[in-house]
Amino acid sequence: MLAEERQQIILQKLKHAHVVKLQDLVRFLNASESTVRRDLQELESRHMLRRIHGGASLSRQRSEEPDMETKTSKYMRQKKMIAELAGHLVKDNECIYLDAGTTTLEMIPSINARNVTVVTNSPAHGEALVKKRIMTYLIGGMMKGTTKAIVGSIASQTLNLFRFDKAFIGVNGIDAVMGCTTPDPEEAALKRRARELAVQSFIVADSSKFSDVSFCKMFDIDQAAIITDKLPETIDPSILEKTKVICADAEHIR
């Protein structure tokens, strides 16, 4: 098989699966590991994919950010699993920060602790929390058109008034070297500050976020525990050495 044919097949598989493992490509293409590695290297040099530990993922613009409707329609089963586990981590009398995002929004039905106070930068979260009769503070500032999150200097100033027992923060990418990332620098700054103001911080992210890197770094992965649905087969093992990863589909905590 010609190199161009192999590479087209690799791209077709990535369009369907988003992430592919090196050994699966070796078997499917009936080629040597070194040959497939060269194909992946060539495709990465043309910005058509991104090599990750043990495989490859589909390349995308680092500053690209899906809107709220698009995010809501993806990985809903996984998000519900993560959200239920995260919600149960909230204890009586705690003050928490709930970041804007679809997974954190799914947390609200699972927050059953008593006398909880929540600060959030999401009007949608605020509405859901008030309906559940949870004491809620909504920070002010500029609302983004895509994620509907409140961001900017006014939001940061308001956030500085609070201190949290726990912060639950969403991300777009988790990478062992590049850390936790998101497309918008202003949103990254708010997430970074929320982590600094909390005694404990948790990243809530489905497994598709691992080995992905967005435009702006929030903080290193060792600065927050990660709550996810499962460990991807292509996960960089150094992530498990750097931070606690809590999996919703497992009885154990890594």
pLDDT digits (tens, 9 = 90+) for 2-39: 888 898 899 888 877 778 899 999 999 999 999 999 99
The pLDDT-based confidence of 80 (bands split at 50, 70, 90) is: very high
Residue of 109, 123, 112, 122 whose CA lies nearest to 79:
109
* Same domain? 29 vs 153: no
How far is Cα 58 from Cα 14, in angstroms, rounded to an integer?
6
What is residue 60's predicted lDDT score, i.e. its pLDDT? 59
* Same domain? 72 vs 29: no
What is residue 251's predicted lDDT score, i.e. its pLDDT? 43
Is 254 domain-assigned?
no
User: Is residue 90's pLDDT more than 80?
Assistant: yes
How far is Cα 157 from Cα 139, in angstroms, rounded to an integer?
9
* Same domain? 102 vs 218: yes
Give pTM, 2 decimals.
Answer: 0.76
* Same domain? 52 vs 72: no
Give the CA angle between residues 129, 76, 88 to the nearest 5°.
45
Is 252 domain-assigned?
no
What is residue 253's predicted lDDT score, i.e. its pLDDT? 44
What is the residue whose two structure tokens read 């154990």?
A: 252
Tokens of 106: 């799914």
* Same domain? 41 vs 126: no
* Same domain? 72 vs 53: no
* Same domain? 229 vs 114: yes
User: Is residue 67's pLDDT more than 60?
Assistant: no
Mean pLDDT over each residue of the chain, to the nearest integer = 89
Residue of 254, 129, 228 whose CA lies nearest to 171:
228
Which domain does 133 fall in, by range? 68-247
Last residue of a domain, one of 58, 87, 105: 58
* Same domain? 231 vs 165: yes
User: Is residue 241's pLDDT more than 90?
Assistant: yes
DSSP string covering 135-199: EEEEPPSEEPTTT--EESHHHHHHHTT--EEEEEEE-SEEETTTEEEES-HHHHHHHHHHHHTEE
- Give me the mean pLDDT over the 223-244 stretch: 92
What is residue 69's predicted lDDT score, i.e. its pLDDT? 52
The pLDDT-based confidence of 252 (bands split at 50, 70, 90) is: very low
* Same domain? 149 vs 210: yes
- Work out whether strand 135-138 and strand 117-120 pair parallel, antiparallel, or are unpaired: parallel
56-70, 168-182, 188-202, 229-243: range with lowest mean pLDDT: 56-70
User: Is residue 132's pLDDT more than 70?
Assistant: yes
CATH number at residue 142: 3.40.50.1360
Please give the backbone phi and psi of residue 5, each rounded to the nearest 5 degrees, phi first.
-65, -45
* Same domain? 48 vs 15: yes
Q: pLDDT digits over 149-169, tens only?
A: 999 999 999 999 999 999 999
Q: What is the domain count for the chain?
A: 2
Is 46 domain-assigned?
yes
* Same domain? 95 vs 168: yes
Please, are residues 117 and 95 in contact by the beta-carbon 8 Å criterion?
yes
Is 63 domain-assigned?
no
